[in-house]
Amino acid sequence: MDVVVSNTVVFPTGAIAAALARRRHAWIIHEPVAGWHYDVPPFARWLLRHRGHTLATVSDFNRRAWCDWLGPVRIEVIDQWVELPDDGPLPPPIDDARPRILVVGATPRKRADEVLDAVGRLALLGTEVRLDVMGDGPVSYGDQLRTQAQRLGVAHFVRLLGPIDVSRRLLLQYAAVVVACRDETFGRAAVEALLAGVPVVAARAGATPAVLHGVPGGALYEPGDEASLAARVLHVLTSRQQPGSSASAAALHIAPWSDEMRFAAALQRLLNIDSEASR
Protein backbone atom coordinates (compact mmCIF):
# COMPACT_ATOMS: atom_id res chain seq x y z
CA MET A 1 0.00 0.00 0.00
CA ASP A 2 1.54 3.28 -1.14
CA VAL A 3 -1.29 5.74 -0.53
CA VAL A 4 -4.52 5.97 1.45
CA VAL A 5 -7.48 7.70 -0.23
CA SER A 6 -10.34 9.05 1.94
CA ASN A 7 -13.81 9.98 0.66
CA THR A 8 -15.28 11.83 3.67
CA VAL A 9 -14.23 14.58 6.05
CA VAL A 10 -16.71 13.74 8.80
CA PHE A 11 -14.89 10.54 9.77
CA PRO A 12 -11.11 11.07 9.47
CA THR A 13 -10.33 7.35 9.77
CA GLY A 14 -8.29 7.23 6.56
CA ALA A 15 -6.14 10.18 7.58
CA ILE A 16 -5.40 8.57 10.94
CA ALA A 17 -4.65 5.20 9.31
CA ALA A 18 -2.28 6.84 6.83
CA ALA A 19 -0.46 8.64 9.63
CA LEU A 20 -0.10 5.47 11.69
CA ALA A 21 1.12 3.49 8.67
CA ARG A 22 3.34 6.39 7.54
CA ARG A 23 1.77 6.41 4.10
CA ARG A 24 0.78 9.25 1.83
CA HIS A 25 -2.80 10.43 2.14
CA ALA A 26 -5.12 11.89 -0.51
CA TRP A 27 -8.35 13.34 0.85
CA ILE A 28 -11.30 13.72 -1.58
CA ILE A 29 -13.96 16.04 -0.11
CA HIS A 30 -17.52 15.28 -1.25
CA GLU A 31 -19.45 17.11 1.48
CA PRO A 32 -20.55 20.73 1.27
CA VAL A 33 -19.27 23.28 3.75
CA ALA A 34 -22.74 24.69 4.51
CA GLY A 35 -24.61 22.42 6.89
CA TRP A 36 -21.67 20.06 7.36
CA HIS A 37 -18.67 21.91 8.71
CA TYR A 38 -20.15 22.16 12.21
CA ASP A 39 -20.14 18.35 12.30
CA VAL A 40 -16.51 18.03 11.22
CA PRO A 41 -14.54 16.99 14.32
CA PRO A 42 -11.97 19.63 15.38
CA PHE A 43 -9.23 17.05 14.93
CA ALA A 44 -10.38 16.44 11.31
CA ARG A 45 -10.33 20.17 10.65
CA TRP A 46 -6.77 20.34 11.98
CA LEU A 47 -5.84 17.40 9.74
CA LEU A 48 -7.40 19.09 6.69
CA ARG A 49 -5.16 22.08 7.27
CA HIS A 50 -2.07 19.91 7.69
CA ARG A 51 0.22 20.19 4.70
CA GLY A 52 1.02 16.48 4.76
CA HIS A 53 -2.23 15.73 2.91
CA THR A 54 -3.23 16.18 -0.71
CA LEU A 55 -6.74 17.64 -0.76
CA ALA A 56 -9.18 17.33 -3.64
CA THR A 57 -12.86 17.89 -4.20
CA VAL A 58 -15.49 17.30 -6.86
CA SER A 59 -16.14 20.79 -8.27
CA ASP A 60 -14.68 24.26 -8.40
CA PHE A 61 -17.67 25.50 -6.40
CA ASN A 62 -16.82 23.16 -3.53
CA ARG A 63 -13.11 23.91 -3.81
CA ARG A 64 -13.74 27.63 -3.32
CA ALA A 65 -16.15 27.01 -0.43
CA TRP A 66 -13.70 24.79 1.47
CA CYS A 67 -10.76 27.09 0.79
CA ASP A 68 -12.76 29.99 2.22
CA TRP A 69 -13.48 27.98 5.36
CA LEU A 70 -10.13 26.27 5.89
CA GLY A 71 -7.91 29.19 4.96
CA PRO A 72 -4.79 29.09 2.78
CA VAL A 73 -4.75 25.46 1.62
CA ARG A 74 -4.41 23.98 -1.85
CA ILE A 75 -7.36 21.88 -3.01
CA GLU A 76 -7.41 20.15 -6.40
CA VAL A 77 -10.56 19.48 -8.44
CA ILE A 78 -10.87 15.87 -9.58
CA ASP A 79 -13.10 14.73 -12.45
CA GLN A 80 -15.94 12.48 -11.34
CA TRP A 81 -17.37 9.28 -12.76
CA VAL A 82 -21.12 8.64 -12.71
CA GLU A 83 -22.37 5.13 -13.41
CA LEU A 84 -26.06 4.99 -14.35
CA PRO A 85 -27.52 1.46 -14.45
CA ASP A 86 -29.92 0.79 -17.30
CA ASP A 87 -32.38 -1.20 -15.22
CA GLY A 88 -33.78 -0.86 -11.73
CA PRO A 89 -36.99 -0.67 -9.68
CA LEU A 90 -39.80 1.71 -10.60
CA PRO A 91 -42.13 3.73 -8.38
CA PRO A 92 -45.67 2.41 -7.95
CA PRO A 93 -47.55 2.68 -11.27
CA ILE A 94 -50.14 5.37 -11.70
CA ASP A 95 -52.78 5.66 -14.41
CA ASP A 96 -52.40 9.33 -15.25
CA ALA A 97 -51.28 11.12 -18.38
CA ARG A 98 -50.13 14.25 -16.55
CA PRO A 99 -46.39 14.96 -16.90
CA ARG A 100 -44.27 13.97 -13.92
CA ILE A 101 -41.24 15.73 -12.48
CA LEU A 102 -38.78 14.33 -9.96
CA VAL A 103 -36.83 15.70 -7.01
CA VAL A 104 -34.02 13.41 -5.81
CA GLY A 105 -33.65 13.86 -2.06
CA ALA A 106 -36.27 14.22 0.69
CA THR A 107 -34.30 16.46 3.07
CA PRO A 108 -34.76 20.22 3.64
CA ARG A 109 -31.41 20.83 1.93
CA LYS A 110 -32.86 19.50 -1.35
CA ARG A 111 -35.72 22.04 -1.12
CA ALA A 112 -38.58 19.94 -2.48
CA ASP A 113 -40.85 22.52 -0.79
CA GLU A 114 -39.66 25.12 -3.31
CA VAL A 115 -40.51 22.78 -6.18
CA LEU A 116 -43.88 22.09 -4.59
CA ASP A 117 -44.65 25.82 -4.55
CA ALA A 118 -43.92 25.88 -8.30
CA VAL A 119 -46.25 22.91 -8.84
CA GLY A 120 -48.97 24.83 -7.00
CA ARG A 121 -48.36 27.89 -9.16
CA LEU A 122 -48.56 25.83 -12.34
CA ALA A 123 -51.86 24.32 -11.18
CA LEU A 124 -53.29 27.83 -10.70
CA LEU A 125 -52.20 28.64 -14.25
CA GLY A 126 -53.98 25.56 -15.60
CA THR A 127 -51.02 23.19 -15.99
CA GLU A 128 -51.27 20.13 -13.76
CA VAL A 129 -47.94 18.44 -13.03
CA ARG A 130 -47.25 15.46 -10.82
CA LEU A 131 -44.32 15.69 -8.39
CA ASP A 132 -42.44 12.69 -7.03
CA VAL A 133 -39.93 13.20 -4.20
CA MET A 134 -37.50 10.32 -3.90
CA GLY A 135 -35.14 9.44 -1.05
CA ASP A 136 -34.83 9.23 2.71
CA GLY A 137 -35.54 12.24 4.86
CA PRO A 138 -36.78 13.40 8.26
CA VAL A 139 -40.36 12.43 9.06
CA SER A 140 -41.04 16.04 10.06
CA TYR A 141 -40.03 17.28 6.60
CA GLY A 142 -42.28 14.73 4.92
CA ASP A 143 -45.16 15.93 7.10
CA GLN A 144 -44.31 19.51 6.15
CA LEU A 145 -44.49 18.66 2.44
CA ARG A 146 -47.84 16.90 2.86
CA THR A 147 -49.30 19.88 4.73
CA GLN A 148 -47.96 22.25 2.10
CA ALA A 149 -49.44 20.16 -0.72
CA GLN A 150 -52.83 20.20 1.02
CA ARG A 151 -52.65 23.97 1.43
CA LEU A 152 -51.79 24.43 -2.26
CA GLY A 153 -54.58 22.09 -3.35
CA VAL A 154 -52.20 19.69 -5.12
CA ALA A 155 -51.96 16.86 -2.57
CA HIS A 156 -53.31 14.38 -5.13
CA PHE A 157 -50.42 15.28 -7.46
CA VAL A 158 -47.59 14.68 -4.97
CA ARG A 159 -45.94 11.43 -3.85
CA LEU A 160 -43.16 10.85 -1.34
CA LEU A 161 -41.59 7.66 -2.68
CA GLY A 162 -38.89 6.92 -0.14
CA PRO A 163 -35.55 5.49 -1.31
CA ILE A 164 -35.40 3.94 -4.80
CA ASP A 165 -32.23 3.07 -6.70
CA VAL A 166 -31.66 5.50 -9.57
CA SER A 167 -31.53 3.97 -13.04
CA ARG A 168 -32.10 5.00 -16.64
CA ARG A 169 -35.38 3.08 -16.57
CA LEU A 170 -36.54 5.06 -13.54
CA LEU A 171 -35.52 8.48 -14.83
CA LEU A 172 -37.24 7.91 -18.17
CA GLN A 173 -40.56 7.90 -16.30
CA TYR A 174 -40.19 11.65 -15.83
CA ALA A 175 -40.53 14.71 -18.04
CA ALA A 176 -37.86 16.54 -16.02
CA VAL A 177 -35.67 16.33 -12.94
CA VAL A 178 -35.60 19.43 -10.74
CA VAL A 179 -32.51 20.26 -8.64
CA ALA A 180 -33.45 23.00 -6.17
CA CYS A 181 -30.54 22.51 -3.76
CA ARG A 182 -28.36 25.60 -3.25
CA ASP A 183 -25.11 23.82 -2.40
CA GLU A 184 -24.80 20.73 -4.58
CA THR A 185 -21.11 19.93 -4.43
CA PHE A 186 -21.07 18.11 -7.77
CA GLY A 187 -24.53 17.80 -9.32
CA ARG A 188 -24.91 14.02 -9.53
CA ALA A 189 -28.72 14.10 -9.89
CA ALA A 190 -28.37 16.47 -12.85
CA VAL A 191 -25.68 14.34 -14.50
CA GLU A 192 -27.71 11.15 -14.06
CA ALA A 193 -30.80 12.76 -15.57
CA LEU A 194 -28.90 14.10 -18.57
CA LEU A 195 -27.19 10.74 -19.14
CA ALA A 196 -30.70 9.27 -19.35
CA GLY A 197 -31.75 11.98 -21.79
CA VAL A 198 -34.09 13.66 -19.28
CA PRO A 199 -34.15 17.48 -19.11
CA VAL A 200 -32.99 19.22 -15.91
CA VAL A 201 -34.27 22.39 -14.26
CA ALA A 202 -31.89 23.60 -11.55
CA ALA A 203 -31.31 26.49 -9.18
CA ARG A 204 -28.59 28.88 -10.27
CA ALA A 205 -26.47 27.97 -7.25
CA GLY A 206 -23.91 25.42 -6.13
CA ALA A 207 -22.08 23.22 -8.62
CA THR A 208 -25.06 22.34 -10.83
CA PRO A 209 -24.87 25.41 -13.13
CA ALA A 210 -21.36 24.35 -14.16
CA VAL A 211 -22.70 20.89 -15.05
CA LEU A 212 -25.49 22.42 -17.16
CA HIS A 213 -23.28 25.04 -18.85
CA GLY A 214 -23.76 24.73 -22.60
CA VAL A 215 -25.85 21.57 -22.25
CA PRO A 216 -29.03 21.32 -24.35
CA GLY A 217 -31.94 20.32 -22.14
CA GLY A 218 -30.75 22.21 -19.07
CA ALA A 219 -32.54 25.25 -17.63
CA LEU A 220 -31.63 27.44 -14.65
CA TYR A 221 -33.88 29.49 -12.38
CA GLU A 222 -33.20 32.01 -9.65
CA PRO A 223 -33.11 30.30 -6.23
CA GLY A 224 -36.18 31.03 -4.14
CA ASP A 225 -38.20 32.34 -7.09
CA GLU A 226 -41.00 29.81 -7.60
CA ALA A 227 -42.42 31.86 -10.48
CA SER A 228 -39.09 31.53 -12.31
CA LEU A 229 -38.98 27.81 -11.49
CA ALA A 230 -42.56 27.28 -12.69
CA ALA A 231 -41.77 29.09 -15.95
CA ARG A 232 -38.68 26.94 -16.57
CA VAL A 233 -40.59 23.72 -15.86
CA LEU A 234 -43.39 24.80 -18.20
CA HIS A 235 -40.86 25.64 -20.92
CA VAL A 236 -39.18 22.23 -20.57
CA LEU A 237 -42.53 20.43 -20.69
CA THR A 238 -43.57 22.36 -23.80
CA SER A 239 -40.25 21.84 -25.56
CA ARG A 240 -40.31 18.12 -24.78
CA GLN A 241 -43.58 17.72 -26.67
CA GLN A 242 -42.10 19.19 -29.85
CA PRO A 243 -40.22 17.18 -32.51
CA GLY A 244 -36.45 17.36 -32.37
CA SER A 245 -36.12 17.28 -28.58
CA SER A 246 -32.65 18.22 -27.33
CA ALA A 247 -32.54 15.37 -24.80
CA SER A 248 -30.35 13.07 -26.91
CA ALA A 249 -27.96 15.94 -27.65
CA ALA A 250 -27.70 16.61 -23.92
CA ALA A 251 -26.87 12.97 -23.26
CA LEU A 252 -24.03 13.15 -25.80
CA HIS A 253 -22.75 16.40 -24.26
CA ILE A 254 -22.64 14.91 -20.78
CA ALA A 255 -21.30 11.49 -21.85
CA PRO A 256 -17.72 12.13 -20.56
CA TRP A 257 -19.09 11.96 -17.01
CA SER A 258 -19.82 8.27 -17.56
CA ASP A 259 -16.28 7.50 -18.73
CA GLU A 260 -14.63 5.35 -16.07
CA MET A 261 -11.20 5.82 -17.63
CA ARG A 262 -11.55 9.60 -17.40
CA PHE A 263 -12.03 9.25 -13.65
CA ALA A 264 -9.13 6.80 -13.39
CA ALA A 265 -6.85 9.27 -15.19
CA ALA A 266 -7.97 12.08 -12.88
CA LEU A 267 -7.27 9.94 -9.83
CA GLN A 268 -3.83 9.05 -11.19
CA ARG A 269 -3.06 12.76 -11.68
CA LEU A 270 -4.10 13.40 -8.08
CA LEU A 271 -1.86 10.62 -6.79
CA ASN A 272 1.03 11.97 -8.87
CA ILE A 273 0.50 15.39 -7.27
CA ASP A 274 0.42 13.67 -3.89
CA SER A 275 3.69 11.86 -4.68
CA GLU A 276 5.41 15.09 -5.71
CA ALA A 277 4.11 16.90 -2.62
CA SER A 278 5.57 14.23 -0.33
CA ARG A 279 9.11 14.55 -1.65
Q: How confident is residue 122, by pLDDT bands cut at 50, 70 and 90?
A: very high
- Nearest to 257, CA basis, from 106, 82, 39: 82
**In this predicted model, which residue has the larger pLDDT, 251 or 265?**
265
Is this model's pTM higher than 0.75 or not?
yes
CA–CA gap between residue 167 and residue 52 (Å, rounded): 39
pLDDT of residue 144: 97
pLDDT of residue 243: 40
DSSP type of residue 198: -
pLDDT of residue 242: 47
pLDDT-wise least confident of 90-104, 136-150, 239-253 = 239-253
In the chain, % of residues over pLDDT 70: 90
pLDDT of residue 38: 55
Q: How confident is residue 221, by pLDDT bands cut at 50, 70 and 90?
A: very high
Radius of gyration of the chain from Cα atoms? 20
Q: State the CB neighbour count (10 A cutoff) for residue 67.
A: 16
Helices (H), the chain: 13-21, 42-49, 60-70, 112-124, 139-152, 168-171, 188-195, 208-212, 226-240, 247-254, 260-277
- Using the predicted structure, report yes or no on whether residue 277 has a pLDDT greater than 80: no
Contact between 235 and 176 (Cβ < 8 Å): no
Q: What is the arithmetic mean of pLDDT over 247-262?
A: 72
Q: What is the arithmetic mean of pLDDT over 157-164?
A: 96
pLDDT of residue 35: 61
CA distances from 112 to 45, 74, 109 (A): 31, 34, 8
